[in-house]
Structure 1
Amino acid sequence: METNATPLQQAKRPRTALAGPYGHPFHPILVTIPIGAWISSLIFALFALFGDDDEVWVQGSQLLIAIGVIMAVVAAIFGLMDLSVIPSGTPAKRTAFTHMALNLTVVALFAVAYIIQAVSGVDDLNIASFVLVILGLAILTVSGWLGGKLAYHYGVRVAAEETQVEGYR
């Protein structure tokens, strides 16, 4: 990375190739897996709550929660790489820390929901687990909005306008 880069230029470049190439970070694509798994887990839980054959839907919901937690940890690793290029003391860095704190809370809520359901068995949906899933998704919505703000408002890891103009010539 250039030593005389502006804070904005610094936030656009990856610190390492593992984070994804310039203008195409891996974190945003990886977060779609836990988000989709957790939304699907809620749908499965609703089928368990209001439908027949609870056991199949509860097992499916629990499996999707586990997949979401595992993939959220993977996505967080890449998110930390993106966080590392944001200069300290900036609104973008503060937003990124809030985004991270909310995401860690969400992962903890889903992990606890998984444990509660595992302890209570798969015969019936545990209502406490169900409530934690709903709460987790609500917090995830706020965190996702902040993630969008980081990319689309602050331009973190988004290619510079000089690069973007290539698509409009």
Structure 2
Amino acid sequence: MSLLSVLDRIADVSSMDRVVSPVQRAVNAVLRPQALKDALHGTWLGHPVHPVLAQVPVGTWLSAGVLDLLPTTRRAATALIATGVAASVPTAMAGAADWSEQDPGVRRLGLLHAGMNVVALGLYVGSLRARRRGAGGLGLVLSYAGLTLAGGSAAIGGHMSYAQSSGASHSVTAARTLGHDWIDLGPMDDLPEGRPALRTGDAAGSPVPLVVVRRGGRVSVFLGACSHLGGPLFEGRVEQVGGRDCLVCPWHESAFDLDGGDAVRGPAGVPQEPLEVRTEAGHVLARLAGRHREG
């Protein structure tokens, strides 16, 4: 049985929800201020911040493992281990914020990911204590055990990101199925003022949902699937968030600036995918942005 199959089976174990649900409630209670959650989601960055922060503990601990091979560089290894321990705190907070807003399967697997990280962190803290007490041999054993667990946990995190699309833009995924020609979305006068409307594009004969918002003479068009988890933005609403006109997802309340798609409020960290828009003979036309088209 492949590792992929094992991880997918774990993600299917619904009985884990008895533990996942109270942990999720606790995380949401601790990270209650929206500004804090947005910072941890990476809304300000336009990209989930957890993978960025995770490079520090993973990188320092791996480097420490190399330096520990030589007695002359073990003091430097100890400094790197301490750096990784300190960096694990904001990394864990960002991971917990993202985890709390994910699909059930991601949350189940994420619980294992987090548990392994907690044990690895404990082993590294124990390694630091042993080194300071002069028990260098024990310190080495604990740190390499921690590195093994952290490496395994990183593999699970990669599965969550790439196989389960945790943190990936579901909007961009939908864009890849859409044709590259201009799409006639109908007369501008048929669009409701200040409310999202559902229109469709064509993807090899299958409709792709688009969301259209008219504000006076301005029209914004986005892929209909929210970048966070693919929620139906055309069922959302338009409201002011942070002084900007935003389209709000009905699933998790992510808010996207209507003038460009930037995430203004999380849990979305990635912008919403906009389409180019023009009007012709009173009709609204839209097509994918140039980065999705060849030539």
Q: TM-score range by the shorter chain?
A: 0.7 to 0.9
Aligned twin of 1:17: 38
Q: Which runs of 5+ in 1 are unaligned?
A: 1-14, 49-53
1:162 to 174, 184, 191: 174
Identity of aligned residues (%): 25
How many angstroms does 1:162 deviate by? Answer: 2.3
Partner of 1:68: 84
Per-residue deviation, residues 42-75 of structure 1 (Å, max 9, x unmatched): 1111111xxxxx3xx2221111110000001110
Greater relative contact order (CA < 8 Å, ≥ 6 in sequence)? 1
Larger Rg: 2
Q: 2:98 aligns with which of 82, 85, 104?
A: 82
Question: Mapping of 1:87-166 within 5 angstroms?
Answer: 87=103, 90-120=104-134, 126-160=136-170, 161-162=173-174
- CA deviations over 1:130-153 (Å, ceiling 9, x no partner): 111111111112101110111111
Kindly provide the amino acid, as one letter, of the partner of residue 105 in structure 2: P
The offset of 1:39, in angstroms, is 1.1
| Equivalent in 35, 46, 50 of residue 27 of structure 1 | 50
TM-score scaled by structure 2?
0.45
Distance 1:163 1:70 in 2: 39
| Higher-strand-fraction structure | 2
Find runs of 4+ consecutive structure 1 residues off by over 4 angstroms.
163-167
TM, length-normalised to structure 1: 0.77
Give the alignment's Cα RMSD to 1 decimal: 2.0
Matching residue of 1:3 = none
Letter of the structure 2 residue corresponding to residue 134 of structure 1:
Y
CA contact (8 A) 2:99 2:106 kept: no
Structure 1 distance, partners of 2:60, 2:112, is 23
1:143 partner letter: S
| 3-state SS of 1:111 partner | helix
SS in 2 for 1:46: coil
- Opposite residue 88 of structure 2, the aligned amino acid is A
Q: Where does structure 2 lack aligned partners over 5 or more consecutive residues?
A: 1-33, 178-288
Separation in 2, partners of 1:164, 1:105: 40
Cα offset, 1:17, TM superposition = 2.2
20-29 vs 100-109, greater mean Cα deviation = 20-29
**Which of 43, 57, 62 is equivalent to 1:39?**
62
Residue 30 of structure 1 contacts residue 75 of structure 1 at CA under 8 Å; is this kept in 2? Answer: yes
CA distance 1:17–1:135, shift in 2 (3 Å): same
What SS class does the counterpart of residue 120 from structure 1 fall into? Answer: coil
Letter in 2 for 1:97: L
1:41, 1:60 within 8 Å by CA — same for their partners in 2? yes
Partners in 1 of 2:137 and 2:38 — Cα distance?
Answer: 43
Task: Name the counterpart of 1:58.
Answer: 74
Deviation at 1:164, TM superposition (A): 6.4
CA contact (8 A) 1:96 1:147 kept: yes
